[in-house]
Amino acid sequence: MKKYVITAAATLLMAAFTAPTALNVRKEVTDAGRQLVLADQARKGTDRIPHSTKPDGSANDRETSWWTSGFFPGNLWYVYEYTKDPKYRKLAEKWTAPLEKEQYNTRTHDLGFMLYCSYGNGYRLTKNPKYRDIMIQGANSLASRFDPKVGVIKSWDKFGTYNYPVIIDNMMNLEFLFWASKATGDPSFRKIAVTHADNTMKNHFRADNSSFHVVCYNPDGSVAAQKTHQGAADESAWARGQAWGLYGYTVMYRETKDKRYLTQAQKIADYFLSHSNLPEDKIPYWDFNRPNEERDASAGAITASALLELSQYSKAKQKTYVQAAEKMLQSLSSASYKAKLGDNNQFVLQHSVGHKPGKSEIDVPLVYADYYFIEGLMRYEKVKAGKRLFI
Ligand code: GLY
């Protein structure tokens, strides 16, 4: 008998003809919660954190020092926030605890992702003073990677022959520094965030408002090179990078009310939404310059969540941003992206791309796609109810 192999591309092509249903936030968050409970049950006796799927189909759980370790506990905190079910709080506390040692980790810029999504959400919801102490130490560790002569936080210690690489993703760690300034009364964290955002705005963006993934700096703060690591080419627009930039500058505006950041976020949003390669369901290909290759659900989820916040700062574009976010969340909630309960190594969403040029994590679940999906759903409900997301 002839065997038919259904490829990821064919699955998505078929999915394009499946009209997404109306968004039911309560159902989606409840379904996500069920999936998280199953993820916990499938991982007894380990403190490795759910991250993705390996090429052989088994779960790819990672050590707490991996940059995504904060998202799984963050997912549980969000579902607890939404449902108020104490079972999720217990699980969130359990999966947050192993990250405690990362407060001293000075080898990564990703402490915002790691500690703010886990301890940050936990502190916001419980006011546990221990969580606050861990975060303040973590913010100091993150700030230690800022060199005032260069004017940016160093992302990695090395990138090829370059010694001071900064990736656009780093914009996502600034929210944590704003929190630290408010918590301690020390303005230096905030100053670092503002300086980093200003230099990133100057050096990471092209004339069309897309961004480079990696900018490598000289010791005097001048630019040595503009490159990519996870995008298709140095000059291409890696989809998740555009999403990180959009989210990051939206947060910058929230925290400073400086109109330059609002304009930057709007320019990124407009680049993303008006791109001729953005598919009908509004979930981008993994790189805007690689149409018809794999989609990246994570970029769609991050963008949806960011657009919902940005809509509240953008009167003229409010409707456009909310409608685009709604479409993205509808697409992600449809069977084209959302996994069946218990499948997909118990991740909520399918079809993300981690690092295609590195031949890794291509068309897989990624825990941070789930995080921004759940966050986006919760934001969507509030936005539709006319509530402010942030004061
Ligand atoms: N921060 C790494 C990534 O977005 O894949």
pLDDT in tens, 196-214: 999 999 999 999 999 999 9
User: Looking at the domain assignment, is residue 130 inside a domain?
Assistant: no
pLDDT in tens, 179-188: 999 999 999 9
User: Residues 51-73: what's their mean pLDDT?
Assistant: 98
Any atom of ligand 1 within 6 Å of the Cβ of 230: yes
Domain count of the fold of the chain = 1
User: Looking at the domain assignment, is residue 314 inside a domain?
Assistant: yes
Kindly indicate the confidence band of residue 15, based on its pLDDT and cuts at 50, 70 and 90: very low
Q: What is the pLDDT of residue 3?
A: 41
Q: Which residues contact 18 (CB under 8 A, 6 or more apart)?
A: 334, 335, 336
Any atom of ligand 1 within 6 Å of the Cβ of 266: no
Q: What is the DSSP string of 51-73?
A: EEE-TTSSEEEE-TTSTTTTHHH
User: Residues 237-244: what's their mean pLDDT?
Assistant: 98
Q: What is the pLDDT of residue 391?
A: 80
Q: What is the pLDDT of residue 170?
A: 98
User: Looking at the domain assignment, is residue 306 inside a domain?
Assistant: yes
Substitution site in 110, 211, 240, 364 for ligand 1 pocket (most atoms within 8 Å of beta carbon): 240
The alpha carbon of 360 and the centre of ligand 1 are apart by a number of angstroms equal to: 12
d(CA 236, CA 289): 6
The alpha carbon of 17 and the centre of ligand 1 are apart by a number of angstroms equal to: 30
d(CA 149, CA 209): 26
311 is in which domain, residue-wise?
Answer: 1-41+250-391
User: Looking at the domain assignment, is residue 88 inside a domain?
Assistant: no
Any atom of ligand 1 within 6 Å of the Cβ of 169: yes
User: Looking at the domain assignment, is residue 226 inside a domain?
Assistant: no
User: Looking at the domain assignment, is residue 279 inside a domain?
Assistant: yes
Substitution site in 166, 169, 286, 298 for ligand 1 pocket (most atoms within 8 Å of beta carbon): 169
Name the closest-CA residue to atom 5, ligand 1. 354
User: Looking at the domain assignment, is residue 310 inside a domain?
Assistant: yes
Written as six digits, the tokens of 294 are: 């794999």
Q: State pTM to two decimals.
A: 0.95
Kindly indicate the confidence band of residue 21, based on its pLDDT and cuts at 50, 70 and 90: low
For position 315, which CATH number holds? Answer: 1.50.10.10
- Does 378 have pLDDT greater than 70? yes
Active site residue 287: no
